Every structure is written in C-alpha cells, then in structure tokens.
Structure 1
Amino acid sequence: MRFVVYGAGAVGGAIGARLFQQGHDVTLIARGAHYEAVRDRGLRLDTPEESVTLPVPVVDRPSAVTFRPGDVVLLTMKTQDTLPALAELAAVAPPDIVVASAQNGVENERLALRLFSRVYGVCVLLPSAFLEPGVVAAYLAPQMGGLDVGRYPEGVDETAESLAAAFAGATFASEARPDVMRYKYGKLLTNLGNAVEVVIGPGEQGADIARLAREEGRACLRAAGIDAPSGVGIASQVRPVRGRKRSGGSSFQSLQRGTGTIEADYLNGEIILLGREHGVPTPVNELLRRLANRMAREGRQPGLMTPEEFLTELDGAAPR
C-alpha cells in the first residue's frame, strides 16, 4: 500500500511524515515553495517529542505520479480546493483507486464519489500547523492525533481495516467505523468555532459565540435526523512544539498566510444549508460565514471585532 498524500500542508504533511517515518511507502503532492523545500531539503516534522527531517518523495502535481494497484490517495487540502484537485486526479488516476478524505466537513466524500468508486471518510483530529515551506508541526502527544476511517457512505471493509491499522501503527488513534460520517458530523460541530477564531480571535474571548454557533448546529443536525456524537476527541494533550504554542486552527492559519480563501462555506455553510432545508434559523453561522469570507477576500488578519460588536451586528442583521 502506497499513500499518495494530496495536499501536504499541515494535516497532510503531518500524516505523510509519520507514515513515512514508520516505514510506509509515501509520496507527497505539494506545490510552490513548499514543494521546492521538501524536494530540496526534506520535510521537517516538529512534535512535542522530536524534530526530524525526512526525505519523503514529493511531486508538484498528480500527473507526476505513476499510479499503481494498491495506491491510496489521501485528500488533505481544504474543501474549497477539492473540486479542481479531484479533476486533476481523475485525469491521471484509475476510477477504482482508493480515495480517502482526511478533511474537515462532510462535502468532500460526495465530490469524490462522483469521480471515484472507492471513497472513504477519515475523521481527522490533528491539531497541526504549516509553519513555513518544508516545515509542519503537530501538537498532540503521545498520540499524534485521531484518524478514524470508514467506507463512504457507510460500512467497513478490508481496505478500511488496513487503513486503520496503518494509522494506528503510525501513532494515531484509529478505528474502522461503519458510521464514520456520524463522527465527521460531530467534528463539524467543533469546526464551527474555526470562523470564531477568525472573526473574534483565538482563545476564550469567543467562547460564547462558538457556543451559539454549535447550538444552531446541533438543532440543524437534529432536524435533519443526523445522530452525531458530541465531544469527539482523543486522550492526548496539546503541548508546545519547540517552545511554540499552537496559535489557532486551520481557518486562522489560512488568514495568517493570506491564502485569500477559507473553509467557512463548507463548515458554517453546511449548517446554514441544513437549516434552510429543514426550517431552522442559523443567524450566528450565517454572520460568521459572511464575515470570515470577507476577511479572507480582503486579506485581513484574525480578530475583526469583539464579541460585543459581533452580537450588535447580529442583532441588526436583516433576515436572510
């Protein structure tokens, strides 16, 4: 089994590095300066327990990979980048290749299943960061994170069991779950706070706003008949890496790097979609989504307003 990690940033880089470190055949697909740094110097993985530079093979596009039977493509890019990434992959990879979505949200698997017949969901619990070209950090120890996996839309088969075993052997908590999408919906509730870190800033100052967003989320999931577990997590603790604390989640990091895009349409936007389908109001998630997208477009840094300013704008927002 070779792992082709497509989108080797914070999450993909950390997963790929650890799999490679444990003896698995891994190829990374990265781009730009990150691709050049990994190609020239290797991929540096920083954790609370070590800092190691690994000579992981890397290419800059799917067409540079000669796909072969037994390959597993791990999708690890942000959801807003999934559709063009899948189109590139479908142009060169066989339609029965294994595609596993190690991404936030619940839309990626549906997009992949349009093009590939063997799709798997991976519920990712992996606080990590893409610090600079060629360097990623993972902040959990002793287990690096959680990577539960199952067939999409449901079920467990030999491939799911093999993936879970590979992840578990690479210091991730991992189970093969027939209902893995339930857990991804549970993780989605947690990720509703990503936009809060962007709009309000990281830390406890946005806790009440995040609580309101998750209350809307739980109401929408109930209305849709989705029985998502709450409190999805693992026993490992977030710890500093090389003296640095983790500054914020994936959306926070997108704004810091000035990528111009953000995942809010597929995190808070998923709750808005369910709310519109089932008649559940979602004003908090709608305002978070609109503000986060505006900040990404305008190249702003995290921390647009205080919680009080957000609530004032929420009160004055026209129904949508």
Structure 2
Amino acid sequence: MRFLVYGAGAVGGAAGALLHEAGHETVLLARGDHLAAIRRDGLTLATPAGRRTVPVAACADPAELPHPVDAVLLAMKGNDTEAALRALAAAVDPATPVACLQNGVANERAALRLFPNVYAVCVAFPATHLEPGVVVAHSAPTPGILDLGRYPYGTDGTAELISEALREAGFASSTRPDVMRWKYRKLLVNLSNAVDAVCGRDGGAAELGELLRAEAVAVLDAAGIDYASAEEDRVRRGDTIVRQDVPGTPRGGSSSWQSLARGTGSIEADYLNGEIVLLGRLHGVAAPYNEHARRMANLFAREGRPPASLPAAEWRALLPS
C-alpha cells in the first residue's frame, strides 16, 4: 500500500519507518528541524536491537505528495488535527481513507466532517521522539498493538488491508467493529498523561491518576458511552508489549511528557482530560479533577516549564475541594 503518515513524531515516525521497511511506499509529513534531519540523513529508528537509518521519504505539506496514496495515517496530537485535516482536504482525493493513529476520541469525528472513509485506531505503542530525526520504539519483538475499525462502527476491506500492512510491519493488529469501545478505554488510561507530564513518576502520581479515572468513569456512564473493561484490555495486551531498554536512549514519559520535554508550547490535554470535562458539562456531571489536570498541563506547556517539576503532593494541594 501507499501511505502518507501525517505527523512523524514518536508513533507516526516509528510506524512509518516500519511500514517502509516492510515494503509499503510511505511518505512522512514532518516539520521544522525534524523534517530537515529526515531529508538530510534519513529517519533514525532506535529499538532495543540498536539504531538504524531508514531512507523514508518526507514532506512538509500534503500538497507536496509525489503521487496519490491509498491511505492517510493521522499521527499528530489532537490539538493539531483540525489544521492538518484542512491541509489534507485541499490536497488529496476526498475518498482517500483516513485512519487516526491518535489518542483521544475527537479526531475521528473531526475527520468525518471532511472525509467519508474514516478509521479509528486504538494505539498501544510505546514510542518516544525527543530529538530531530530520531524516533524510538521501546517494545520488542512486537513494537505495539494497532487495532482498527471503521468509524463510527464496523469494518470493511480497507480496514483489513491497513491491518494486514501493519502486521507486515511487525505490529499486532486486528480489525474491530467496536474499536471506539477500545479507544474510550485507552482514553481512561491516557487521563494520567497530564500528571505524568507535570509530576513525573512521583510517589503520589499513581493515586492522582486513579482520581482522574474514577471521575471519568462516572462521566462516561452518565453519557451512556460504552468502553472496554480493564480486564478486556489486559487480556488483549497479554504479553505482546515488552518494554525494554534502548541503548543510548533514556526512557522518558508519556506523549504529554514528551511535549513538555521538547518545549513545543502545546499539549494534548484538551483532547484527553478536556474530553471528560466536555462530556461532563454536556451531561450534567462535574469533572473538577480532570478540569484541573487540563489546566495544569496547559499552564506547564504555555510557560515552558520542564516535565516532572511539580511534586504530586503540591498538585494534590491545588485540587479543588
């Protein structure tokens, strides 16, 4: 298949490199120093087995694509999705399948406004991007799990083809007609990204994450939204993902932690904790802990504060009573 991977950060860059190595014609869309490094030297993919250079093509805009593509894999943060979709809609056939390899649950709906063939991908793929031209995949021998289905529900031949390509690239991938149930489970997991970004793995961070999830479960239940259980998720993951040390690459934190570490000035909390806040407001359920997390993550991003620089005890002291 021919792929455009729109957003060549940790997940997109590593997935694109592996698809290219599996024989799929792949173009990465990147920005700034990262794009310049890929164009100059190729993309460096670091894994537990070592580093290698992948000579994958890269561009700065969908309008630069050298040929039509069979599918677009969106892999940017949720806060960048709207602008990316507008640029994409101006450059590709409207019937082009668009698959969201993204955390959160708002990207698919945004894509469906502009493209009729949208696919949701539930991402379990530990990866890091902290320096230009380099992405890190931490799990081996299977780099991650990328299950997908048609949005809002169902599966079809295109989903099967994308899933097959991902399997050829080394991923565990199945098609799921109810993939959004799994993305809502992943959303519950990702709510603690804000705490990880701001507090790191401080001793009290896990308890703060549980507060966020308990509040979110009440909101999802009130909204009548189904989500896969923790047990279903545990069984699906099994022993597929095996995190290992990557030589020369210290293990960092979540994707939100990485945003602070790179000093991007933005963070995806509005589309993780903010999704729970929005649903709570729509269904009359207060979500003060997730609103606080959203605000704290955005404050740290806006002010350029380093990750893991606030003790969890100080976060707790600031919680609304």
Verify same fold: TM over 0.5.
yes
- Identify which range, 307-316 or 124-133, moves more after superposition: 307-316
- Identify which range, 88-97 or 226-235, moves more after superposition: 226-235
Identity %: 54
- Identify which range, 104-113 or 41-50, moves more after superposition: 41-50
Corresponding residue for 1:286?
A: 291
Match of 2:126, as an amino acid? P
Closer, same or farther: CA 220–175 of 1 in aligned 2, 3 Å: same
Corresponding residue for 1:266?
A: 271
- 1:21 Cα deviation (Å)? 1.0
Q: Flag structure 2 segments of 5+ consecutive residues without an equivalent.
A: none
Corresponding residue for 1:256?
A: 261
Match of 2:304, as an amino acid? G
Corresponding residue for 1:19?
A: 19
CA distance in 1 between counterparts of 2:47 and 2:136 reads 6
CA distance in 2 between counterparts of 1:230 and 1:309 reads 31
Aligned-residue Cα RMSD (Å) equals 1.4
- 1:229 Cα deviation (Å)? 1.3
List per-residue Cα deviations over 1:188-239 (Å, max 9, x = no partner). 0010010011222235530000010011111111111222113336222111
2:291 matched to 1:313? no
Corresponding residue for 2:8?
A: 8
1:21-40 map, 5 Å: 21-40=21-40
Match of 1:26, as an amino acid? T
**When the two structures are superposed, what TM-score results if normalisation uses the length of structure 1?**
0.95
List per-residue Cα deviations over 1:24-58 (Å, max 9, x = no partner). 11111111111111111111101112321011011
Q: Flag structure 1 segments of 5+ consecutive residues without an equivalent.
A: none
Corresponding residue for 1:299?
A: 304
CA distance in 2 between counterparts of 1:174 and 1:221 reads 26
2:58 matched to 1:53? no
Corresponding residue for 2:135?
A: 136
8 A contact 1:46–1:137 mirrored in 2: yes
**When the two structures are superposed, what TM-score results if normalisation uses the length of structure 2?**
0.95
- Alignment partner of 1:314: what SS? coil
CA distance in 1 between counterparts of 2:112 and 2:218 reads 28
CA distance in 1 between counterparts of 2:102 and 2:56 reads 21
CA distance in 2 between counterparts of 1:244 and 1:26 reads 26
Corresponding residue for 2:181?
A: 182
- 1:67 Cα deviation (Å)? 4.3
Corresponding residue for 2:145?
A: 146
Closer, same or farther: CA 96–67 of 1 in aligned 2, 3 Å: farther
CA distance in 2 between counterparts of 1:311 and 1:194 reads 16
- Alignment partner of 1:164: what SS? helix
- Alignment partner of 1:132: what SS? coil
8 A contact 1:199–1:288 mirrored in 2: no
Corresponding residue for 2:201?
A: 202
- 1:274 Cα deviation (Å)? 1.3
Corresponding residue for 1:241?
A: 246
Closer, same or farther: CA 199–265 of 1 in aligned 2, 3 Å: same
8 A contact 2:148–2:175 mirrored in 1: yes
CA distance in 2 between counterparts of 1:61 and 1:307 reads 40
Closer, same or farther: CA 239–204 of 1 in aligned 2, 3 Å: farther
- Alignment partner of 1:253: what SS? helix
